[in-house]
């Protein structure tokens, strides 16, 4: 997959001028397949809760939502680029289920634009792992492909550090109260990680239960700090369990 991805990059930059995925205007850059005007129109999230990336009320001065204040998450920080809305939701589906490498590459490039270089090094980059059965059916982990451009910023990819040891029902199919139970104990780490820092990456954040379970597993293994960046967060009227 990595090889295909790199060749596709090179081929595209040599043979084609990059055009905007939405309006077909030239982008003027090889990095992101969107023009500046279309980028401005994307459903960027405003100020969000540092624990679960839910948008905070405009008049709020708190850094965390009421739910995260009440029961603090294991994640030290959680950020999302977009609300899970058009056209981002479509790109995520294309990256995930249709093996659309141009969608994967676009999402990775948008993420790399926003994520700062690590404050301390080494900083482990940990795409949320898929269970091996799902990996076999899908052929690749979309979270890994989206995270890949962050390596150029100084993050160290740690794809084999953590395993998803049992298949879990899709979080989106479950009511909020069952989501935490569904992922409890789902991950294991292959070595102790005393004092290490982690950046988790995933495509969609629905409840935060998966990211938090992973953060909990890493902290039990000794991790000092665990942050997360996701492409998009689902925003519901009732925020469920965060």
Q: How many residues sit in the footprint of Zn ion (CB under 5 A)?
A: 11
Which token pair is 97? 């289920």
Task: Return the SS3 of 34.
Answer: coil
Among 32, 42, 48, 51, binds Zn ion (CB under 5 A): 51
Q: Could you give the angle at the alpha carbon of 107 between the alpha carbons of 20 and 73, nearest 5°?
A: 150
* Residue range at the interface with Zn ion (CB under 5 A); choices 62-70, 168-176, 212-220, 222-230: 62-70
The single-letter DSSP state of residue 177 is H
Beta carbon nearer to Zn ion, 45 or 135: 45
Which of 71, 104, 70 lies closest to 1 in space, CA to CA? 104
* Residue range at the interface with Zn ion (CB under 5 A); choices 24-32, 81-89, 104-112, 214-222: 24-32
Which token pair is 121? 């090094």
Among 32, 38, 115, 147, binds Zn ion (CB under 5 A): 38
**Using rule CB under 5 A, residue 23 touches Zn ion:** yes
Among 32, 33, 52, 205, binds Zn ion (CB under 5 A): 52
Q: How far is the CB of 48 from Zn ion (least distance, A)?
A: 8
**Using rule CB under 5 A, residue 208 touches Zn ion:** no
Beta carbon nearer to Zn ion, 20 or 130: 20
Does the bond joining 87 to the residue before it have cis omega, within 30 degrees of 0?
A: yes
Q: How far is the CB of 19 from Zn ion (least distance, A)?
A: 8
Q: What sign has the CA pseudo-torsion 147, 151, 154, 160?
A: positive
CA distance 186 to 164: 6
CB-side neighbour CA atoms (13 Å) of 84: 17
The single-letter DSSP state of residue 153 is G
Among 8, 22, 156, 176, binds Zn ion (CB under 5 A): 22
Beta carbon nearer to Zn ion, 38 or 199: 38
CB-side neighbour CA atoms (13 Å) of 234: 16
**Using rule CB under 5 A, residue 65 touches Zn ion:** yes
Beta carbon nearer to Zn ion, 118 or 242: 242
CA distance 57 to 18: 38
**Which spans of this chain sit near Zn ion (rule: CB under 5 A)?**
20, 22-23, 25, 35, 38, 49, 51-52, 65, 68
């Amino acid at each position: 997959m990595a090889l295909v991805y790199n060749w596709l990059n090179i081929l595209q930059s040599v043979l084609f001028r990059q055009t905007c995925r939405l309006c077909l205007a030239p982008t003027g850059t090889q990095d992101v397949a969107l023009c500046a005007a279309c980028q401005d129109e994307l459903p960027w999230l405003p100020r969000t809760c540092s624990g679960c990336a839910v948008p905070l009320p405009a008049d709020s001065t708190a850094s965390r939502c009421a739910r995260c204040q009440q029961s603090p998450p294991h994640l030290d920080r959680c950020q999302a680029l977009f609300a899970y809305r058009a056209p981002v939701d479509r790109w995520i589906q294309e990256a995930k289920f249709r093996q659309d490498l141009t969608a994967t590459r676009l999402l990775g490039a948008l993420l790399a634009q926003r994520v700062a270089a690590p404050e301390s090094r080494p900083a482990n980059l940990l795409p949320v792992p898929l269970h091996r059965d799902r990996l076999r059916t899908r052929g690749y982990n979309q979270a890994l492909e989206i995270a890949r451009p962050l390596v150029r910023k100084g993050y160290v990819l740690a794809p084999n550090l953590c395993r998803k040891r049992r298949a879990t029902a899709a979080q989106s199919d479950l009511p909020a109260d069952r989501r935490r139970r569904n992922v409890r104990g789902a991950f294991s780490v292959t070595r102790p990680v005393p004092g290490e820092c982690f950046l988790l990456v995933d495509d969609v954040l629905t409840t935060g239960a998966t990211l938090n379970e992973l953060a909990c597993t890493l902290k039990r293994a000794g991790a000092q700090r665990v942050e997360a960046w996701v492409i998009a967060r689902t925003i519901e009227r009732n925020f469920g369990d965060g």
